[in-house]
Structure 1
Amino acid sequence: MIRKNSRLLFFLCVTALIACSGEKKKEDAEKGVETVLPANNNEVTILKLDKQIFNHELVSNGKVKASAFADLRFQSAEVITHIWVKNGDWVKKGQKLAGLDKFRLDNKLSQAKNTLEKARLELQDVLIGQGYAVKDFDKVPEATMKLAKVKSGYEQSKVDYDLALYEDEHATLIAPFDGVVANLFAKSMNRVSTSDVFCTIMDTKSMEVDFSVLESELSLLKKGDRVVITPFADMAHACKGSIDEINPLVDDNGMVKVKAKVDGNAKLFNGMNVRVNVHRSLGKQLVIPKSAVVLRSGKQVVFVLKKGKAMWIKVHTGLENADSYTVLDGLQVGDTVIVTGNINLAHEAPVTVILNGK
């Protein structure tokens, strides 16, 4: 009987010890930052807080487009006799690009001109037959003149002549503006089709970027905001621009279309996929580096230097950019915060300052 009581007593003691150990672990977990063991030598970098200009940064993906873009076609299905340019060539407005064989076009124009002259003489005969002298043709009533032109065939002859003249003049393809040649695949001595694009001219010195932002981010954008465009194909090559248009329409996905103009000769290709960083100055704010903020039990914490010790303070951050947060509450101007060496710090841990940040 005594042996059974002893075993029961031993079992109860072990159970109590396990329960106490579990409660101790739970208590330690709830302490948060106090549970992080301090290092033997906590070397830190500090920064004294002050208000400074904060540039908000918004990141989106976009696509590059040429601001001036033209698909050029010939107006006549004739044989190409000359091609003076190739893909990638920079051309000036009015420069010749390619030319067609004009034998048929010149003959068609000559025939149309002769037909028009005959129709003009026939028109004169019709007006004279109605009692008008040649010197008084400008006094003929409009309705009478229109009827005489139709009767003499002058109206149709004029239309045919104008069309022949237009086709003859457009037998040589001309650059409509300064730009670079693209999509030129035709060869000389081949007949062109009036429905096919002969080549494309793009003004790559004046590029645009189309991108989208969430409707919740609209309040952070305005026309003229500075942007930085970085091609995914070459992340080391960044160029600058500014927001030129904000489309006043939210689509079904809650997105708004934005267009930015790229400054200068950015050496971008039409259709490139790029990353767009929008920067906007929000004036002076209380700002801390991102490296100063650490997580303890899922909460944002900043360590402040006080009398040689690291004192943790819970903070609430607001907007962010690539390297900083704005502080909503928890800190104030003049606080000395620890910006590096804070990963393994504990509350009230002694620290050694190795560098004062600026």
Structure 2
Amino acid sequence: MESFFKINRNAKIGYKLLSPADLGTNTTSNQTHIGLFENTLLFIAEAHKRSSSKLIYNNEAKELICLIDYITNSDGTIRSPKIRKGDINELNIDGNEINSVVREIRSIVQNNSINSNWFLLWFGLDSNELVFYLFNEDSEEYRRLSQIIPNISSRGIIDNTATNFNPLVNYIEPLLSNSSISILQDLELIAQTNEVPVNIIKPRYFDIERAKLNFQLTGQKGEELIAEYLGRQKTQGNITNFNWVNQSRESSFPYDFQIINNDGSEIFTDVKTTAFDFNQKMIVSTNEFNFINQNPSNYHIYRVYNLNNNQPSLRICRNINQIGEHIINHTNQLTTNLSSYFTTIQSLKIAIQPQNNILNFDDTIAL
């Protein structure tokens, strides 16, 4: 899949062998920071002093607090930048305690091999978010990166004029997206609901807007695949016809396809597409549930998934009404309760886990 997160091609990539003092394993040192290089952080702004960043380790990316200190020169330039361990009160974000990059790195090392050499590589994304990449000399990443960066056991800077800059970027970008699946899944839900989960620190407008565009393309692709599938069903004589209501433009109807069966009956179908696996939550609005309850026996959910894996699949749910009835009953009761406060609910968006004990999905169909 195309990498969601893009490395800033104008920023520099820094790398270093972490010292025992950096890792907190030196019993004679009280160092509470990891030092970085000035020339790798030219994009750093005041907002970066306490912001979110990503730490990649063992094919998993975590969103953590990055606490940066540096000395500002009289001409506005910076020197001696470092990322700090941070005090407990600095790790609180809206009532949630989030680890700092330095604390997380030290925890990882202490829970693994403290006798190995550990390396840190850092860079900026095109959103200017900082990313840190931790690995040790026993890992496959070290083997691959030492081929791209021959002097990796020292410390250095790689910019876009270096011959190994593009090979390094081409290695890191897919790894970053593949290790950020849980973050990307959250962003796909945010794109549909505008609700931000508490486990995302200060979500970046840039990422959310990109996620909305990606989800729009994901939804379009899902509907195109279903149009092709229904076309095959029509050719094979399994249905009489179908109408793709969003074919020319978004209709805002509570369904995407109207299917005419051979007996003349009709089925309203809503396509719920995700770039991820089947278990990614589906978003259904109360307006859609109202329509479902008006058509309880002829409203189906077509769940399209695995678009990112280039193995798009379909599973059909024919009993979404069994959840719809409960949802509307509860929202109606909530509306009644709120009316005394002169408050009404216009519409809600409900996140539904496809794998539950109420919904029944047909077997998988390859698209």
Give the structure, 1 or 2, with the largest relative contact order (CA under 8 Å, sep 6 or more). 1
Range into which the TM-score falls when normalised by the shorter chain = under 0.3
Larger CA Rg, structure 1 vs 2: 1
Structure 2 length as normaliser, TM-score?
0.24
Larger relative strand fraction: 1
Q: Choose between structure 1 and 2: higher helix proportion.
A: 2
* TM-score (normalised: structure 1): 0.25
